[in-house]
Amino acid sequence: MSLQHALLGVLEARPMNGYELTRFFEAAPRWVWSAPQSQIYPTLRQMEQAGLIEGQKEVRGTRLSRTVYSITERGLAELRTWLATPHPPPPARDAFFLQALFFDMIEPDRAASVLKAFIAEQEQLVAEWRAHREALLAKETDLIKERLKSRPAAEHDRIAALKAHVFAGQIAVATARAEWARESLRLLEA
């Protein structure tokens, strides 16, 4: 269900075709929701049927066509309702913590190498999110530029700050995870 809301949120910035959306959602780790191309096209058609978005067929050259989707009033309303509603937390399903739960069953140095890979991975994510956060604060991403066009200039700073703060959240969580993994390394040695 959330893919639909993610798509609505992106299309609220500006109309896009399936290909653009695919690039956006496949470039994922940097963003908050990822989806493969094969999921995006059928979902867009579903959403159009539901009246949440509207497709406009365009032609490039003579034979190549693309369908540019824009959010409808109904899509906007659906998105706003979803945004204003608290949703139940997803069921616990964290493969990495599951793995860590049984580290006592393997040799400490093997567990340590898994932890080190995890730390590197979290740091990589932190770096990407930091860059994205900076770009948002500077109002330099493609999407935020589009979005701000339809908002009063007085609100621009606040909007950018709110969006950037989400990535600060991702950074905080990944940092906490990496820090936890470092403590685990110390525990393994004991």
How many angstroms separate the CA atoms of 9 and 36, rounded? 17
CB 44 to its own copies: min, Å: 18
Q: Quick one: 45 or 130, whose CB is closer to DNA?
A: 45
How many angstroms separate the CA atoms of 170 and 133, rounded? 10
Among 19, 23, 73, 106, binds its own copies (CB under 8 A): 106
38's contact among DNA, its own copies, none, with CB below 5 to 8 A by partner kind, is DNA
Say if CB 36 and CB 27 are below 8 A apart.
no
Does 89 participate in binding its own copies (rule CB under 8 A)? yes
Q: Quick one: 93 or 186, whose CB is closer to DNA?
A: 93
CB 28 to its own copies: min, Å: 5
How many angstroms separate the CA atoms of 16 and 143, rounded? 11
β-strands 53-60, 16-17 pairing: unpaired
Tell me which residue of 161, 154, 117, 118 sits closest to 139, measured CA to CA: 161
Say if CB 170 and CB 32 are below 8 A apart.
yes
Say if CB 114 and CB 99 are below 8 A apart.
yes
**Residue ranges in contact with DNA by CB under 7 A:** 1-3, 17-20, 22-23, 34-39, 41-42, 44-45, 60-67, 90-91, 93
How many angstroms separate the CA atoms of 56 and 66, rounded? 8
CB 46 to DNA: min, Å: 8
Among 64, 95, 153, 154, binds its own copies (CB under 8 A): 95
CB 188 to DNA: min, Å: 27
Q: Quick one: 34 or 141, whose CB is closer to DNA?
A: 34
Residues from 118 through 177 that contact its own copies (CB under 8 A) = 118, 121, 125, 155, 158-159, 161-163, 165-166, 168-170, 172-173, 175-177
Please provide the size of the chain in residues.
190
In degrees and rounded to multiples of 5, residue 57 shows phi and psi of -75, 130
Does 179 participate in binding its own copies (rule CB under 8 A)? yes
CB 49 to its own copies: min, Å: 23
